[in-house]
Amino acid sequence: MQGRRKRAASLRLKCGAWDGTVPPMRKKPMVQETAESLAGRQREISVSEFFLKNRHLLGFDNPRKALMTTVKEAVDNALDACEEAGILPQISVEIQQTADTRFRVSITDNGPGIVRAQIPKIFAKLLYGSKFHRLRMSRGQQGIGISAAGMYGQLTTGTSTRILSRTKGSKTAHAIDVQIDTRKNMPTILKDEESDWHPVFYQAAIDGKPVEPVTAKSGTCVTIEMEAAYVRGRLSVDEYLKQCAVVNPHLQLHYRIVLTRAAARDEEEGRKGSKAKAAAAEVAEEPAPGNDVPWTTFLRATNQVPDQPQEIKPHPHGVELGMLMQMLKNSPARTVRAALSQDFSRVSEKTALEICERAKLNPKANPTRIAHQESEALFKAIAETKLMRPPMDCLSPIGEAAIEAGLRKEIVADFYTAVTRSPTVYRGNPFLVEAGLAYAKPGDNADLTAEEPIRLMRFANRVPLLYMAGACSMNKAAASVNWKAYGLSQPRGSLPLGPMVLMVHIASVWVPFTSESKEAVAHYPEIIKELAFCLQECGRRLSVFLHKRQRLAEADRKRQYMELYIPHLALGLKDILDLKDRDEQALVKQLHTLLERTHLET
């Protein structure tokens, strides 16, 4: 038996297809399941349990990414809350390393605050939120993010999520500790206190002079402790916040990270902290005293809160059959005609009638009945009917000026431009794309070298996307543009090379992400086409700039060349004609004028 198994295994190994599992013992009798026995084990799966097992779907696949995702979800929520309340946002992000692989993340905002009753559900119930059921451009979509971050912290450290919140005009703030009951997807409140907490924002010193901390009247602070890792670089919290500042020029952002002494020392030593050393130091080291670590502040470039986008009804062309049935069933309207014109955008009474005629339906029929029996005909008729595009005021672009300001603020370069396209539609969802570009003179910006690919910053509804660049349609669109035509070198089928930062923004009521972790935008042809047009326009402007610069450099080169020989010409003439020095100088001057007139003016 033993020998046979061994041989079987080695045989498989030889074949090179052994999948690592030991072949099942043949002797064990198979238990036959019955419908009844199966039924005993069949039960509901809570979304919390599902995401606990599939945490990579939410962006918690590794400790480093977990830290970034937590900050991202909290900052997104804070920004959405501030903007909806029309408050000029001020956000503070503090990360404190409590042990080698443990970090405490606190995000404070000056938003409107949250009423006591809602706090537990918002922070400890997955798929709970204000944004899922409406068609409106916002950063958050599903109501998963921050709860998932809390769940991740709870899973890895056993601690609870702490929320401090103060609404405007209230006498006290609430301090609540919650955990999530993953079985039931329900919050468990561990502590619920009144507190005199106020959101406080510490600002970086300007020119060495300390700036007084600012206290806000309302706001929320969420603190989560979790297992995580901090690594600098393109995929770090630092980069995320920097891009956030670029894309939200109205945001005042404060940030600091307090590492343990060991980690801080490792950082210093070439930033390659050996894990063994850090682990050894873990026991002895206390977290570094927080107060001496300076804050970094990303100052706001504009005091204009972006216009609040309007909420819209779904456009018929973006609705699928199942959803159409659902909407008809739930419609308060009495007739199909009324249901169509009231529940959808861009359907007038007249258009509704046209749709009904096309579907050979009685416009006065009960929508609930139609939903059950003739919805397919109706669906077909809708697809065949010409409709106006969905309203576009549901989108709030950053705007060309603001994009440029954001880039100028955070990136050292000598050419900036931005393009905002007018809105268009994919699958009935309005969307628009914007792009900005910062081109540095080679050598001026150490971060941007001429030999490396350009840096592409991707944003969806003003949220920076750091991961899964390769899978994103923004990346694909940027690579599909022929940048050679605009003066950059570009390896076939990839991003161009050059000292350039390219930022691309998609704003939509429903950004089609490839997964719940919102890292990449799906490849809709309409989106890629719009992106390409937008980038091409940026490219054309860049090319104008590069050509001009090239022309100037060329003129400079020519001038230098001519300046080299003009004195010789004059000297020759002086020798031939026995001129005086004064005449020679006049000659040189006049020759300059003559040559520059024809060669250097354009």
Residues 414-453 that bind other proteins (CB under 8 A): none
Task: Kindly indicate which of the ranges 70-78, 186-194, 453-461, 577-585 contains the residues binding other proteins, using the contact rule CB under 8 A.
Answer: 577-585
Angle at 114 between CA 110 and CA 116, to 5 degrees: 140
| Spatial contact of 256 and 294, defined as CB atoms under 8 Å apart | yes
**Cβ at position 550, least distance to other proteins in Å:** 16
Residues 233-262 that bind other proteins (CB under 8 A): none
**Cβ at position 576, least distance to other proteins in Å:** 4
| Spatial contact of 226 and 105, defined as CB atoms under 8 Å apart | yes
Residues 6+ apart with CB under 8 A from 96: 103, 104, 105, 106, 257, 258, 287, 290
Task: Kindly indicate which of the ranges 108-116, 202-210, 479-487, 583-591 contains the residues binding other proteins, using the contact rule CB under 8 A.
Answer: 583-591
In three-state secondary structure terms, 284 is: helix
Tokens of 178: 């919650």
Residue count at the site for other proteins (CB under 8 A)? 25
> Pick from 576, 581, 582, 601: which binds other proteins (CB under 8 A)?
576
Phi and psi dihedrals of 259, rounded to 5?
Answer: -95, 160
Residues 6+ apart with CB under 8 A from 287: 96, 97, 98, 258, 260
Q: Got the DSSP string for 305-354? A: PPPPPPPBPPPGGG--HHHHHHHHHH---SSHHHHHHHHSTT--HHHHHH
> Pick from 15, 568, 581, 582: which binds other proteins (CB under 8 A)?
568
**Cβ at position 558, least distance to other proteins in Å:** 5
Angle at 530 between CA 526 and CA 535, to 5 degrees: 150
Task: Kindly indicate which of the ranges 187-195, 289-297, 472-480, 592-600 contains the residues binding other proteins, using the contact rule CB under 8 A.
Answer: 592-600
In this structure, is the dihedral angle defined by the CA atoms of residues 7, 10, 14 and 18, taken in order, positive or negative?
positive
Instruction: Kindly tell me which of 383 and 586 has the beta carbon lying closer to other proteins.
Output: 586
**Cβ at position 500, least distance to other proteins in Å:** 32
> Pick from 132, 323, 422, 561: which binds other proteins (CB under 8 A)?
561
**Cβ at position 490, least distance to other proteins in Å:** 32
- d(CA 281, CA 261) in angstroms, rounded, equals 9
Task: Kindly indicate which of the ranges 43-51, 106-114, 474-482, 584-592 contains the residues binding other proteins, using the contact rule CB under 8 A.
Answer: 584-592
**Cβ at position 583, least distance to other proteins in Å:** 8
What residues are paired with 455 via a beta bridge? 501
Site for other proteins contains 204 (CB under 8 A): no
> Pick from 562, 580, 585, 602: which binds other proteins (CB under 8 A)?
562
Task: Kindly indicate which of the ranges 67-75, 336-344, 388-396, 570-578 contains the residues binding other proteins, using the contact rule CB under 8 A.
Answer: 570-578
What is the 8-class DSSP label of residue 172?
S
Site for other proteins contains 283 (CB under 8 A): no
Question: Token match 């672009």: residue?
Answer: 397
**Cβ at position 590, least distance to other proteins in Å:** 5
Decide the pairing of beta strands 186-195 and 173-181.
antiparallel
Angle at 508 between CA 538 and CA 346, to 5 degrees: 115
The contact mask relative to other proteins for 541-560 (x = CB under 8 A, - = no) is -----------------x--
* Sequence letter at residue 289: P
Instruction: Kindly tell me which of 9 and 577 has the beta carbon lying closer to other proteins.
Output: 577
**Cβ at position 578, least distance to other proteins in Å:** 9
Site for other proteins contains 565 (CB under 8 A): yes
In three-state secondary structure terms, 260 is: strand
Instruction: Kindly tell me which of 450 and 571 has the beta carbon lying closer to other proteins.
Output: 571
Site for other proteins contains 564 (CB under 8 A): yes
**Cβ at position 546, least distance to other proteins in Å:** 22
Site for other proteins contains 572 (CB under 8 A): yes
- d(CA 73, CA 161) in angstroms, rounded, equals 14
Instruction: Kindly tell me which of 189 and 577 has the beta carbon lying closer to other proteins.
Output: 577
Helix (H) or strand (E) holding 526: helix 525-577
In the sheet with 252-258, reading across from the earlier edge strand, the strands are 186-195, 173-181, 161-166, 219-227, 102-109, 90-99, 252-258, 296-298
Helix 63-84 to helix 145-157 angle, to the nearest 10 degrees?
A: 140
**Cβ at position 426, least distance to other proteins in Å:** 54
Task: Kindly indicate which of the ranges 28-36, 314-322, 383-391, 569-577 contains the residues binding other proteins, using the contact rule CB under 8 A.
Answer: 569-577
> Pick from 121, 329, 540, 599: which binds other proteins (CB under 8 A)?
599
**Distances 596 to 310, 556, 573, 585, 588 between C-alpha atoms, Å:** 58, 11, 20, 17, 12
Instruction: Kindly tell me which of 598 and 602 has the beta carbon lying closer to other proteins.
Output: 598
Residues 89-148 that bind other proteins (CB under 8 A): none
Binding site for other proteins (CB under 8 A): 558, 561-562, 564-566, 568-569, 571-577, 579, 583, 586-587, 590-591, 594-595, 598-599
